[in-house]
Amino acid sequence: MNLSQGLVILQGVKLEVMRKTGKYQKSTFAINLIMRREKLGLTAEKFAELAGIPYPTLRDPEVGRTQGSLRTKEKIAHALGTTIDDLNIPRNSTPTEKSDSLGRCVR
């Protein structure tokens, strides 16, 4: 077994453990999405409706189960008035674009 094969096996084991325990690691995108959605005072269900996506499509990235498709991320970013890139910036970093008090991108 070479190193890459070993890594694939380890990743598979990690994913299986995550599936069994229900514990997933949230992405920076998911953390920023949740923070901004909550600043707007919206439930996940209401935000999904406003973004024009089914609630399960929003829930999976929020809990870290999936990353979400590019189209889904575009709809989420648009509904938040920001960009996908801005949502991928870690919370303790300085955004490249200015944001208003609700975390929306100001151009």
Q: Each residue of 70-92: pLDDT tens digit?
A: 999 999 999 999 999 999 888 66
Percent of the chain whose pLDDT exceeds 90: 44
**Residue appearing with tokens 């997933």:** 24
Query: CA–CA distance from 21 to each of 14, 16, 28, 43, 68 (Å)?
Result: 11, 9, 21, 25, 21
Which residue type, as a one-letter code, is found at position 73? K
The reported pTM is 0.63
